[in-house]
């Protein structure tokens, strides 16, 4: 009673606590429009009823930790390789002075533009706008939505949800979670919420890739010729090349009416020819068959046989699409080759600008190509967004996760120490990212 009376007699100088203002339904800043709606919050609650999401949270933690560790290793490994590579390799990655590369007869390739590292269609010159927007929308909706579903599943409050627009173009969704409450909740729960974004992006990327592989595995080649990899100069083929009739990426379908189904078939036929003989080439240029007559030259390696003057791929159309469909077993990095960015992709990726017209789908017909591109960019953007967000750099998901972990690491770890450790880790990660991005450009100014 005495304690109660004493408290009642004290004057309340702080005044009543002001209630938190309700966020505006629509806000606009720098071209970004945020439209808040409670309907999405109800949708999150409906999904949160399923126990599978709390179980998936543990899977998401494993994925996020692995992805963050991989990104740290990748940046350290790339930095080490740049510093310890030969001049020839540095020239190929734009990490050596151009004049020095040319003086040593090394091919010099400039480092990619910094905008190429941004997953923003219209800013990144390599991401097609339409497919890029689809990939970004799917990635952001999945990322933010999973944060919200896990928070609601674990009985944590979500302040608001809504849609994001750039002017009138939809670019994703958002979920606003009360970070102060997240930091105070159990580490096992806050960790699952933070890992939900990157983890779900990886799972969506895997699903998109599986669908892409299944689609490409069912493609049917329209022709069975051999792919022209390059044209030698001077040569009989170079005359056709200069006339615009033969390019790298075309297919040789037949020679003197004999169908060519592999590089061995072509080599066997050419072994029976002689210099100065007339040869009729049947060329497939993006689905258009044309016949051209050339006079064979003497083969530089064996002057007794004829010479066309082309190098051809040792794989036909069937082998190319089969190799891509089975690359998850043999060479999974093939799936990271982006047509239009990596030149090798044009002859290795069935949906590249060079190869796509040579295939059809028994189910989708010619529509298979835009479907494949949609699946590819959903995969590519989701996997990149997931791995970047897993880096332990605040305020990325990885950075927020380590802050929450430091906050729960024993009773002696007070908030100040957690912030200090998180800041230190974030600074180290930022320096590593800047080194990864700018070291080749700095070395390009310094003689090797």
Q: Give the model confidence (pLDDT) of 143-153 as tens digits.
A: 888 888 888 88
pLDDT of the residue at 136:
87
Retrieve residue 303's tokens: 């002057």
pLDDT of the residue at 1:
39
Q: Please, which pLDDT band fits residue 377 given cuts at 50, 70 and 90?
A: very high
Contact 69, 388 (CB under 8 A): no
233 by Cβ neighbours in 10 Å (0-12 / 13-18 / 19+) ranks as: exposed
Distances 83 to 88, 105, 311, 444 between C-alpha atoms, Å: 13, 21, 35, 12
pLDDT of the residue at 29:
62
What is the pLDDT averaged over residues 18-27? 61
Q: Are strands 258-259 and 251-255 parallel, antiparallel or unpaired?
A: antiparallel
> Does residue 214 surpass a pLDDT of 50?
yes
Number of H helices, E strands in the chain: 15, 14
3-state class (DSSP) for residue 268: helix
Contact 386, 67 (CB under 8 A): yes
pLDDT of the residue at 173:
63
Q: Output the average pLDDT for the chain.
A: 82
As a whole number of angstroms, the distance between CA 214 and CA 287 comes to 24
Find where tokens 């295939």 sit.
359
Q: Which domains does the chain have, with CATH numbers?
A: 27-215+382-443 (no CATH), 226-317 (2.30.42.10)
Retrieve residue 15's tokens: 């005044």
Please enumerate in sequence order all residues whose Cβ is within 8 A of that of 23, keeping only pairs 6 or more positions apart, or say none.
36, 159, 160, 176
Give the tens place of pLDDT for each residue, 378-430.
999 999 999 998 999 888 888 888 888 777 765 555 667 778 888 899 999 99
pLDDT of the residue at 276:
92
> Does residue 187 surpass a pLDDT of 80?
no
Contact 199, 59 (CB under 8 A): yes
As a whole number of angstroms, the distance between CA 72 and CA 390 comes to 10
> Does residue 252 surpass a pLDDT of 80?
yes
267 or 263: whose pLDDT is higher?
267
> Does residue 3 surpass a pLDDT of 50?
no
Please enumerate in sequence order all residues whose Cβ is within 8 A of that of 98, keeping only pairs 6 or more positions apart, or say none.
108, 444
293 CA to centre of own chain: 44
As a whole number of angstroms, the distance between CA 247 and CA 221 comes to 20
> Does residue 203 surpass a pLDDT of 60?
yes
Q: Please, which pLDDT band fits residue 40 given cuts at 50, 70 and 90?
A: confident
> Does residue 225 surpass a pLDDT of 80?
no
What is the pLDDT averaged over residues 124-147? 87
pLDDT of the residue at 19:
47
As a whole number of angstroms, the distance between CA 203 and CA 195 comes to 12
Cα dihedral 344, 346, 347, 352, rounded to 10, equals 140
As a whole number of angstroms, the distance between CA 201 and CA 145 comes to 11
Contact 359, 318 (CB under 8 A): no
């Amino acid at each position: 009673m005495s304690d109660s009376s004493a408290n009642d007699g004290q004057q309340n100088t702080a005044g009543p606590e002001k209630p938190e203002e309700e966020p505006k339904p629509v806000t606009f800043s720098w071209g970004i429009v945020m439209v808040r709606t409670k309907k999405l919050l109800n949708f999150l609650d409906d999904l949160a009823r399923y126990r599978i999401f709390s179980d998936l949270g543990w899977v998401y933690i494993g994925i996020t930790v692995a992805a963050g560790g991989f990104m740290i290793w990748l940046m350290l490994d790339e930095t080490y390789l740049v510093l310890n590579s030969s001049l020839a390799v540095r020239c190929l990655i734009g990490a050596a002075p151009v004049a020095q590369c040319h003086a040593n007869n090394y091919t010099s390739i400039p480092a990619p533009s910094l905008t190429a590292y941004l997953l923003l269609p219209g800013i990144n010159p390599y991401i097609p706008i339409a497919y890029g927007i689809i990939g970004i929308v799917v990635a952001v909706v999945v990322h933010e939505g999973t944060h919200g579903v896990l928070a609601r599943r674990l009985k944590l409050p979500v302040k608001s949800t809504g849609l994001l627009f750039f002017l009138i173009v939809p670019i994703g969704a958002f979920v606003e979670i009360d970070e102060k409450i997240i930091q105070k909740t159990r580490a096992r729960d806050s960790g699952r919420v933070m890992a939900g974004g990157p983890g779900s992006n990886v799972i969506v990327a895997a699903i998109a890739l599986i669908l892409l592989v299944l689609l490409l595995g069912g493609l049917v080649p329209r022709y069975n010729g051999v792919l022209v990899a390059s044209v030698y100069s001077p040569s009989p083929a170079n005359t056709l090349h200069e006339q615009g009739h033969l390019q790298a990426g075309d297919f040789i379908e037949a020679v003197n009416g004999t169908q060519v189904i592999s590089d061995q078939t072509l080599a066997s036929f050419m072994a029976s020819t002689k210099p100065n003989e007339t040869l009729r080439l049947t060329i497939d240029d993006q689905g258009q068959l044309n016949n051209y007559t050339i006079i064979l030259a003497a083969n530089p390696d064996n002057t007794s046989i004829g010479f066309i003057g082309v190098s051809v791929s040792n794989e036909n159309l069937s082998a190319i699409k089969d190799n891509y469909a089975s690359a998850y077993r043999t060479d999974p990095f093939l799936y990271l080759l982006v047509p239009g960015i990596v030149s090798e992709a044009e002859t290795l990726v069935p949906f590249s600008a060079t190869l796509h017209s040579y295939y059809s789908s028994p189910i989708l017909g010619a529509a298979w190509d835009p479907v494949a591109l949609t699946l590819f960019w959903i995969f590519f953007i989701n996997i990149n967004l997931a791995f970047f967000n897993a880096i332990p750099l605040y305020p990325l998901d990885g950075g927020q996760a380590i802050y929450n972990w430091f906050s729960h690491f024993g009773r002696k770890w007070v908030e100040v120490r957690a912030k200090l450790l998180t800041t230190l880790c974030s600074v180290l990660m930022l320096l590593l990212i800047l080194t990864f991005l700018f070291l080749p450009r700095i070395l390009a100014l310094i003689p090797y």
